Structure 1
């Protein structure tokens, strides 16, 4: 960039802090005026380009894009804030920087943000910090714990740089050291300090034998999630004796268990007052982790159940505890749904039987539709877990009334994910899981996808084709029959179904939309070629060869929607073509097994 060699005269320099109208500014006092202003949070740093750009690849790229001679740069989301940036900037100016266990993580993350690597200058800040971490911090018991606690406020940088993992590994290794070789300070030893008689000064008495649980109290000071990770690391290395588990429970779990139970006891007496459903579910996660008593746990479940419609799918993802083999605690969420159903099912029945005002009835149904959307989203999350049994998935799917699902596209997507992640299911098992779905409540897009879905049982595909045939004959190609009778609230839910779903579900949506475009293109080509081989019913889908072959074999129709079917080796819970026509269907037909 053509900086003169005289710029090295910036040193010695002086770092000053001044306040202007409530905003802090950092100045470097030199013989040269600053030519760059860097904003980190609420602090402005008036600095010089040459020393910064000589060590920061990231700042080089930012400044190269600026056209003004006096450049102002905003560093959004800088890890560690102004304090961490000050360390990095001082290093660029050649000033002495003091690193310790309290600031080293922030400095390391900040250096990574600025890309202060050896590629731009040998012996750069990242290199020096790594030397300090490996030679000092990770060798010290106390510093490892301090640094590990500091990583919590610097996520995700500290995780990406594996600082937390390296601290945990170092701590786990130190717990296996022979107590006779322990020569560092730990909480248990400091607690034994007493006052020396005569002068009142504390002294450390010699301990003939270091107790085998010397490390327990220091570990108990960690936050609960970090504590869990440390204990998992210790156990995975096979270095924790079975007798130590009791010591850990006495030290940490019981302390947190008491805190959680106290919080639960202090909750407002009125169920819906003061606490959001999200907060209560987070509290339930901790309560599950520390195994609170049955009474406070039941009280918490009751509170959450009363306002389950206000929860989010993410809130319900509560990790399962041993001996459960699933990723998430499905049984716990099932109990929440059962509690909600017990209360609100009675309200819905009362509203319908006593012909209450339309607004009250719509409100009751709207609450159920919120829960239906929540449950289907949760089903989509657990569907990819190979340890979720078919019976558990099916039972959970059927735990809410039909009014909660005026449209069943989300349920179909969850079922499709389950079938995809469990390819070893037998034919009868696939029929059972598809039996929880009513194909009449699928939208056109979902029906088009289902009609071409190789994972679905043949009978379900036939049911989908028949429902689309009836819908086309009635001139209703946009929504399932039951959908038009529900409130406008469900309309918004259907329109927004793709925004809040996992990537697998959005992928299915894209497939549906792509198929719809392909279908329109086929229709135009068919019309252009004057092909008269159209599916009867006017609004029927143009299906792939597999679906057409299945449709022709199962639904031999010369009477525009009237068919004959004596039976099948497949089945579905939704109404089949034969059951829908009822008495109008013939008892004999042209059915052929596939």
Structure 2
């Protein structure tokens, strides 16, 4: 007998179904209450619009079959989650011909989850993951997620066959929360990475958060997230890739930062460089990398500039951001002279040598990079000197003030004698730096505490009386009279004379020094650097 179709059902704006309202209302309290309105019943045909129907058109089709088949439907692992959620949505608590309602049937099926095989469990999860989660996860999905976590936490976990199902006796020995924190230490093979990588991001979010809650090993979780990211972004659209990357970054931020692979973080950064991520995700990623910067290699930092050929070759701003994040965390978690900080200092010095030959690199950026590391982190300043040497050679048009700013990072006490000797003869450096190098080459001047001590040195005895004659600003008078005396000029710098005052006394010395350099064979500064920058090769 033909059944009339007097009800149109618009499911999420995706598809319209023509059904018999009496048949559906006999199973659904929601529809039954809707049709009880006398005014509405006078209409021959009606239309119902659902905006958030669970499972979409496929979910409605399942429930329609259930109703048209007089409350009979085969419940399987692939449809139980959707049937359960749709039954709750449509309020299908009615009993027909003495049979249990659909909610009861699906709940009873889900109660047997302990006896499901691993494949059946994943099948139910994959088919149910299309449901709209909203603020609160679907209860049946949460039940499946909990079961997956419980099985992954089994100490004997090795292959899918070992988690096919659980007997009650075995489960009772493995189900206490007190032992879950140690269960994952027995993981040897991660076959489940591939199994779970087929799940959508919402389910992965639930799984990872549950892993963190149950104290799974964070290195294992981070490895899984990087694996999931690699699988999901392959051949995906830019929009999908951006969503995956953002979700992975958010979940990684829940973990102990020291448990996250720095290589995985830089791989994530490279993928993200071509995508439009939320600003918050970018900041989170920079924080994660910054916290692990002592594990990075030079190649990791050589990130291309995002602005094209008219800008610097490398993304110096991003590296500076990493450094600031590292130092910010360090100010809280470890001492400034720690081993981690010293490793980063060596890395920065190598990076500075690599970017120094870039003609477009502004002196302010180079100076910021050189100065960001605290003095206590460098045992030697030889490497950063070499980087400065390259930069000044490649940028000959810098004014003296810019050179002085860059060279202010140098600690002459931590320069080797060989480097001090090079610096004292290097005309690319500002005169102040050369004078300071001369001071530290001369042990006597370095130990002098006053002009009187300086005048006691051999060659200065003739100036003793002049030093005594002046009560006010006596150093200024001595400077004017002895401006051509190299040792005294160097000593005055050691005594704390300002750069401006020293510049006044270095004029004649500059000409003399230039003449000396002209007569001395010079070696290209870059050849003195053991590590040749790639921009120079």
Q: TM-score, normalised by structure 1?
A: 0.37
- Pick the structure with more helix per residue: 2
Larger radius of gyration: 2
